[in-house]
Chain A
Amino acid sequence: MDSNHNAQTVKQKYVYWEWRTLILLMIGYALFYFVRKNFSIVMPALESELGISKARLGLFLTLNGIIYGVSRFINGFLADRVSRRKMMATGLLLSAVVNLFIGLSPEMNGLFHFLDSEGKATMAMVVFIGSLWLINGYTQGMGYPPCGALMARWIKPSELALKQSIWNSSHSIGAGLVAILCGTVILKFFGYSSWQWCFYIPAILAIFGSAMLFFGLRDDPASVGLPDPEQLDDHLAGKEVETETKEFKDLAYNRLVGPMVFQNRYVWILALTNVFVYVIRFTILDWGSTFLTQYKGLPIGKASIVVALSEIAGGIIGTLLAGWATDKFFKGKSHQTCFIGLLGATIMFALFWIMPKDWNLLGVICIIMASFFVYMPQALIGVAASNQSTKRVGMPFSG
């Protein structure tokens, strides 16, 4: 009777901590997007208010993307060895600080020669903002690896794919909400001159988010006196659950990482494909509002709503549908769903490109559909890599 009661208590406590971790990771990762994708929404304002050219803004985004990839690679290795909770909270806090400094940059004109006589940015200010955005590329790379590592430690293996796809919607929620906050609320109602608030408000929210992650998360179930999720998984009942020592885990990692990751051609194919997936995805996110305002003639408020819709409607539906289709039609072969998604996104982009300038509604539909398709590989390419390399050594792939 007592042992039954204890088992029930442990299960209840585990369910509470599992959902607490998942919800905190979703809010935390969405906030990472608040201090990352605000830049893309504010780009038309930076161009008109500060006179920073598209070429330079594009260069910031490109270099930011490269450093982000390097950071994810480095932090992918570190996430298995340091406190995931501290890594994620620190990354979000540093991103918030970077954003605050970008917002404050015109106020530093007294200290540095940041503005010319017409109030436009001098080269010093362009370099300052560009450098800060590169630093943000590194700090943003501290978000995904701890999330992946924490989910693998907290969620039962039989529920990992479903809950990971639920978590994945935090990308779309974060990118969609920041587009509405910055584009539809701040820039539309207060004008382009209020661009600094597009950095201040997301940064303040991110500081609160960082504190919430630091105090709310725990590195693993053992830190709150709970067993590993494998031991509570009903689907593994009857199977012997191995409890592994740290020495065994380290030895297994060292033996697996070579053949399963670095010498595995499928992992390299997926890693290379991921570059192209990100190019398309970031084209929508980073250049969507600029393109829609300047070439399609949409006001900033509407353009931001389109980007938000493409993220929230297209992204979330695409992600959930991709997971369902993989199990239903492709027998778990996620790389096949990734191919279909990437091909679909490419076709939608091509249609958007060749479409006459004044076909606004069809253009908007193409953008939303491109987002819908591109989220299929975005959500599943990690699962495909995990199928090829196993979750034990899957984190370095994220770089």
Chain B
Amino acid sequence: MGCIGSVIIATMWKAPANGYEKANRILDEVRVEYAALQAGSKDKPVAHE
């Protein structure tokens, strides 16, 4: 079991630890989308009684 696990994790030996960079790129898109959503909701007419 240990041998199998060692072989599996060895396949990512050279992998970069750069998840945060990839996530930041996605978050930039989310910020744009969120800003657009906020702007859209502000433009909607507010119902007054």
Contacts and interface: CB of A to CB of B under 8 A. Distances in A.
Interface in A269-326: 269-270, 272-273, 275-277, 279-280
Contacts, number: 97
Interface size class of A (residues with CB under 8 A): 35 or more
A305 B30 CA distance: 53
Given A279-B1, A280-B2, A345-B2, A392 B11 contact: no
Q: Could you tell me the dominant secondary structure of chain A's interface residues? A: helix
B12 A335 contact: yes
Contacts of B2: 276, 279-280, 342-343, 345-346, 349-350
B39 interface: no
A336 B22 contact: no
Contact of A339 (B9, B17, B20): B9
A247 B26 contact: no
Nearest to A383: B17
B9 A338 contact: yes
A392 B12 contact: no
A384 B16 CA distance: 10
A335 B17 CA distance: 9
Contacts of B45: none
Contact of B19 (A269, A280, A343, A390): A390
Contacts of A345: 2
A276 B17 contact: no
A345 B6 CA distance: 10
Interface of A: 247-248, 251-252, 255-256, 259-260, 264, 266, 269-270, 272-273, 275-277, 279-280, 332-336, 338-339, 342-343, 345-346, 349-350, 377, 384, 386-390, 392
